Amino acid sequence: MILVKPRSGTPVKTYFANVEVHNSSTFGIKSDGTNGAVDNAVTDSAFFSMAGAAVSAVTPAAASPGPPVVRVSLDRATVLNAGAGAVFANGGGSRVFIIKSAVEAASTGITAVNGGNVVLNDSVVTGNGTGVNYSGGGVVASFGNNAVQFTGFGACGADVCNGGVAGTMNALTPK
């Protein structure tokens, strides 16, 4: 497991490439903005077989609303067999960007709660008990070029979702 958490108000910027985290009894990589801002980029990596979230961004309630306190970019990654929300954004200052990645075989694939935000771009969310879950002002947005299928969630907007079922996932327009 990897914890990225500033000790004081000093911002932290990290970059992880070709990382493999597996068989964790807690989480994979957690970006915690409780004590300060975190910018975390993860590329060409794999997270699998863990009890908690594979990738999470967490901010305190005081960060909402406002600018992002924690920003996580997950690019060309595989998340497989996570127990809790495989990719998890909690708190109004948390943003997770999922680009060209796969989130598979978790109890819940993507979770955004308490104002947290997750943006999907050119990714696959498949084989999860629940594909996408958001509540408490959480937002899961999409550029409409993802595949969300074989999962317990059928609200995918413009994305290919369980055979093209239209739904309520927030759509973004590429600029």
In a domain, 122, yes or no: yes
DSSP secondary structure letter of residue 26: S
pLDDT given for residue 158 in this prediction:
45
Give per-residue pLDDT as tens, 101-114. Answer: 999 988 889 999 99
For 100, the domain range is: 2-154
In a domain, 129, yes or no: yes
In a domain, 54, yes or no: yes
Task: pLDDT band for 164, please (50, 70, 90 cuts).
Answer: very low
Q: For 100-104, 131-135, 149-153, which range has the lowest pLDDT when averaged over its residues? A: 149-153
pLDDT given for residue 163 in this prediction:
41
Q: Residues near 159 by Cβ (< 8 Å), separated by ≥ 6?
A: 120, 142, 144, 145, 146, 147, 148, 169
Mean pLDDT of the chain: 84
In a domain, 139, yes or no: yes
